Amino acid sequence: MIDNKSKQPDNSESYVWKNFSDGVKKLLKIKRMKQIDLEAVTNLSLTTISRICRNTNGRGGEYKADTDDFKEVCLGLELTHEEKDKLFKVTFPEIEFLDYFIDKRMSAASANLYIIDYKESLEK
């Protein structure tokens, strides 16, 4: 089924999440929740949840989730292990590649460039 507003499939498996904000917005739709519902079941403020959904940090940059935000969203949305894993991969993509970086004995600078290239490829 296609959501006419977003033109994206309703099935979370067939839609590639670009980042934490994109994943949270999609999960809110899947769970049939509103931002205010998420506020009620987490320790996050409505301002923080709004910033997450708009993908802004309030200073002109993208929203960068920390582990506390991630935990609150996962528990508040009552995610399955699969949903949590999918959200984790787009929230902290560098962790997915950590073993690769270690095996290749990459410098932090090289690893950062690798992550930037990876994120850009997701946006295409």
Full residue range of the structural domain in which residue 59 is found: 16-91
Specify whether 78 is located in the same domain as 111: no
pLDDT digits (tens, 9 = 90+) for 5-37: 444 444 445 568 889 999 999 999 999 999 999
- Cα separation, 42 vs 60, in Å, equals 25
User: Distance between terminal CA atoms of the chain?
Assistant: 23
Specify whether 34 is located in the same domain as 72: yes
Rounded to an integer, what is the distance from CA 70 to the centroid of its chain?
Answer: 8
Number of domains in the chain: 2
Q: Decide if 4 is inside a domain.
A: no
pLDDT digits (tens, 9 = 90+) for 69-123: 999 999 999 999 999 999 999 999 878 788 899 999 999 999 989 888 887 887 7
Specify whether 34 is located in the same domain as 66: yes
Q: Which amino acid is at 100?
A: Y
Q: 3-state class of 9 per DSSP?
A: strand
**Pairing state between β 8-9 and 2-3:** antiparallel
